[in-house]
Structure 1
């Protein structure tokens, strides 16, 4: 307003997006959808190669007439674009070839032909698509997958460890491919210092030191209780603790996958460890700065618990709330992980044969992780369905952990 120079700097790192996605998991389903959409728009803005002035004015319903503003990073240092049709096809093939059960990092490793232990154990190095993208490095494929998310060809399932799934738009693209211009990752290291303002040093989404300490504590408790570590707290819960730094049992209840029951049963030693760590390292916690929205626990959660107590079929419960069974299972998983006991025996006995039940329960009683992907690989994707394993995982966690 005073005609003086004004500089606007955006500090953007995809690790920040992953951190915000974890925050969103604690919100009610309706709020999650809105937050997901806003986050996607933020990613789209940050990674776009279009003039920043044009994007901002368009957002407010105005038109910026000039092709080049001569002031923003995209106009001063244009991002290089390339035809991404073949890369997009290859990425979709890779995701479908592993049955849409893995995260971005795993898909990238398949594309570049990285024969790591996980890929060899799953025999995914024998897939036709394995190594077909080795002409490009991992950084290139990460950029391709991120932009496919922006274009709506893929969706990330946050509730299932961030696995990538192909959307109907992605399947339509595979059937009738069309030209898609993608942007190369911006290499800011080669720009003049005058062209860009550098922010603070990059930080990881997780506090690795604290995460290791929490895992060691969980291991000690699991040995003492003679339970698999994931029954105490799952890895996503430990990860959230390294982001939120809860120092009271009340704060621990707001951690992803932790509720009143889990906080009361296992929370005390974790809270003590985190509190000492925060004091020793003079950490400023997110909840010291942000007013955290309280999850509405009286709505859909109570309805689901009451409906299961009445032994209603899951299909009926899902339909009554306009949800898919997959979405309902995600809500049930949240309820059980938070420490509430649910008995799905009536439904499991109707849908899963006794042999499969015993086999899956035995697997989880000996497993080091409750990972759905690991269970499918170990038990056999052809013999056991994802829904069967999710149902039995819920039963195991409810019976043993709660």
Structure 2
């Protein structure tokens, strides 16, 4: 049995960050990744970076074959960089195999032709998440059904694309593939489009998508898929039938814990499959930690990286950061134009007992919209009437994914909305919209 200072299961961005910090402090680390095509994790290989490359190139009207080639080249380059960064470290042993628990601090690595037993006082689980498939008849047997990883590997753009699920992933792929020339239909099971978002902004997003001729089916629960010649027939509960060249299942992701054999440990898993952790991301087993998607909750690469930094500070004794102190997590949906939010919606703020003032500002009211010839979009702000602090913003329009981070910093530092309203900024830029948005 080989002994290490630390074992990290899963080679994602959090794992790389954590390994780098531990080895800088002379820890001997075993890093385990079961798939050589996933060095660097989902973001590098199948998530953030490749999908945003496709989104960028589609927006720039680059043809799909060229965009796909660039996506693959960048992905391979980044994956090789991740691999090399760990392989060249004398403090890291990289195992390409499946790691699972034999006991609380012993890991078995299945390398295919042999197994290794590893032991460490500290173990870190960064195995990410996997696609969550709903119970739809025919889903496994039907050809032409894809998850988000498989769809972006198709050599050609499907002429017609059905997307089951209108969450973040579904919306991004709808926008990308529409720009590449697909006729897209989105299926949302609920009565409202983007039900957790501000109604005015959600309606603005819906209008833009429909102007692009993306069809949005509400109250549309898929109950069966099958093949009809070379196409996919999709049937909903209200007996409607649709034919597509391809169907994307975008119904969320779940923590990837199935192969970890957690039953051999005292690690506790919640009702949604996420590994339960405390404020320092430590599991029920002392010195065993979980970071990123595998613990449930936010499924963003930047959360995973922040988790890794928090854990490193804790185990190295260099800080006392807590997960509960991580406030105002922003998120963006890379549709065209982009959508972003941080903090509370008006409805949630009132539900929590705040007295609020709100305002909206159309992108069309900015000089920047004339410069870029894009007047689409709507921004909305929610402010605490008693303290003047910003409770949340929802941004839809050019640069939303960038501007949301400015508001997040203001919220973190308890800066009143008037500060953003009264700033002197360069011209003509989209951040000038804050002078209108916060003119309450």
TM-score, normalised with respect to structure 2: 0.23
Give the structure with the higher percent helix. Answer: 1
Question: TM-score normalized by structure 1?
Answer: 0.25
